[in-house]
Every structure is written in structure tokens, then in C-alpha cells.
Amino acid sequence: MRRSSPATEVERRLSLLKAAFREVAEKGFSDVTLEDIAVRAGVSKGVTLYYFESKEDLFRQLFGWLIDSIHARMREAVDRAEDPVAKVRALVAIIFPSPGKNRAFFRAYMDFCGLAARRESFRAIGERFYAGCLAIDRGIVEDGIRRGVFTLRDPAEAAGTMRALFDGLMMRWLTEKDLEAVFASYRERCERELLAYLVRPGALRERGKS
């Protein structure tokens, strides 16, 4: 195959990753073929195999790309917020962007979790995902404790509880009959429960008076 320019190579690889994500979100990993991905990306199966050794290789790289993108968006949103409560709200907004985006990501992510439970290479990617998320969550907790806004507790444990709330509410939302109708209530509930868990009683009133 004639080698394209570096920019074209990156763009084509990215288009294949995006196509794979849409296919897996719609059909599930087991039912998606490389031909499906190639058709959606507008290329041949041979082009797909030029960039990825197999469907599994493509899926591993897909989630590596998604993880890097998610971590970057989370860090950017949190860094822009000026106080710990605003950081929590910014994180919730990133994790609950819209019904369509959440449905697509978590459908694909549940497939990924099934693979991670059985295959070491996928498990390692899952560990990297949670390590990055927990580092961001822990940073928020430590900032809140340092400023006297959050209850004094173990930051690592608190970060784990935050992540459990995110994942638990998201999985529960996916079982609802009308995802669009209840999405906002789940996002609001997530923010409310996180702040109830993290914020020290009376801290917000005290800050408001200062």
C-alpha cells in the first residue's frame, strides 16, 4: 500500500476509531465486523487491517483513545473551576453530557468491561482508565479538605466512593425505559449526592458569610 502523508495517516486512523466506536455502541462488540467498520469509515477492509492487526487490536486502541480524551476533558473542566464545589459540578457535567453521548459510551464501555474481565490486555486499559479518573477525583477531594469545605476523610477512599456513585447511577440510568426523560434527574441526583457526601455540614454557609 502506498504510504500517505503523516497528517493523512492520523486522520484516517482517527476516522476508523470513530467508526468503530459508533458501530460497537449500536451493535455490540461481538456483532461488529471489520467490514462494518470499514464501510462506515468509507474505506476498504484492507485499509482497516493496515492500521489495526485485528478487531481486538482496534477495540483496544479505541478505548485507549477514548480514555485519553475523557481524561483530558475532565482535567480541563476541573482546572477551570475555581473552588471545590464548582469542580464537582464541572466533573458531573463532563460525565453526564447528554443522553445520546452517555448511551453510546456506556453501551460500548459495558462491552469493554466484559472483555477486560477475561483478557489481560483489556484489563490493563481498564486499570489505566480508573487510575486516571481516581487521580482527578482525589485531587478534588484534597483541594476541598485543604480549603475546609469538604469533610475530613481519606482522599483515596472518597475518590473511590465518588467513582462508584458516577458508575452506579449511570448503569441504573441505562435500565430506564425513557432515557431522555429521566436523564436530567439522574445528573442532578449525582451532583446532589456527591455534594452531600463531600461537603462539610455548614461549610457553604460559612463561606457565604466570609
Same domain, 109 and 175: yes
Q: pTM (2 decimals)?
A: 0.86
Supply the pLDDT for residue 180: 95
Q: Give the CATH number for residue 195.
A: 1.10.357.10
Provide the domain limits for residue 1.
Answer: 1-52
CA dihedral 62, 64, 66, 67 (to 10 degrees): 160
Supply the pLDDT for residue 157: 97
Split into its structural domains, the chain has a count of 2
Is the pLDDT score of 208 beyond 70? no
Of the chain, the percentage scoring pLDDT greater than 70 comes to 93
Supply the pLDDT for residue 202: 79
Q: Of the spans 46-50, 102-106, 177-181, which averages the highest pLDDT? A: 177-181
Supply the pLDDT for residue 206: 65
Same domain, 34 and 72: no
Is the pLDDT score of 133 beyond 90? yes
Is the pLDDT score of 209 beyond 70? no
Give the contacts of 112 (CB within 8 A, at least 6 positions apart).
29, 59, 63, 122, 125, 126
Same domain, 98 and 151: yes
More confident residue, 191 or 201: 191
- Residue 165 has φ and ψ, to the nearest 5°, of -65, -45
Helix axes 99-116, 155-174, angle to 10 degrees: 110
pLDDT tens track for 75-117: 999 999 999 999 999 999 999 999 999 999 888 888 888 888 8
Supply the pLDDT for residue 1: 47
Sequence letter at residue 119: R
All three cell numbers of 72, joined, read 483530558
Q: Give the CATH number for residue 30.
A: 1.10.10.60
Supply the pLDDT for residue 122: 87
Supply the pLDDT for residue 147: 94
Supply the pLDDT for residue 173: 95
Listed in sequence order, the DSSP H helices in 3-152 are 6-27, 34-41, 45-51, 55-80, 84-95, 99-116, 120-146
Same domain, 131 and 183: yes
Same domain, 90 and 16: no
